[in-house]
Amino acid sequence: MLQPGGTVVHLSTAYGVVKNVLAHVAEAHSGHVVEVPVEFRGHSSFPCGAGGVPLEQAVARAIDDAQASGSEVRGWWPLGWVTAKRTARLGL
């Protein structure tokens, strides 16, 4: 679960109900929610972060920024809750 003052990171493509739950959890624990924008730039391209940045880099930047502020980071990916350390092992 989220530690007090922690940060939850999710992709902008998350379902609305997931975003609502994460916002509720963050509020209950005096935490923060960071949404990583996902862009789709064409039929033959992979999803990317804002401005065409590779999605993996956009997620890594969001995690790094939150950790730099001293926040514990949790993420919500299709795989479920993962810690920042597990995320690094998954290559995200």
Show the low-confidence residues of the chain (pLDDT under 50): 79, 81, 90, 92
pTM of the predicted model, to two decimals? Answer: 0.77
The pLDDT of residue 16 is: 92
How would you list the strands of the sheet with 73-77, edge to edge? 32-36, 7-11, 73-77, 80-83
Q: Name the residue ranges covered by the structural domains of the chain.
A: 7-90
The pLDDT of residue 79 is: 47
H-helix segments, 29-83? 55-68
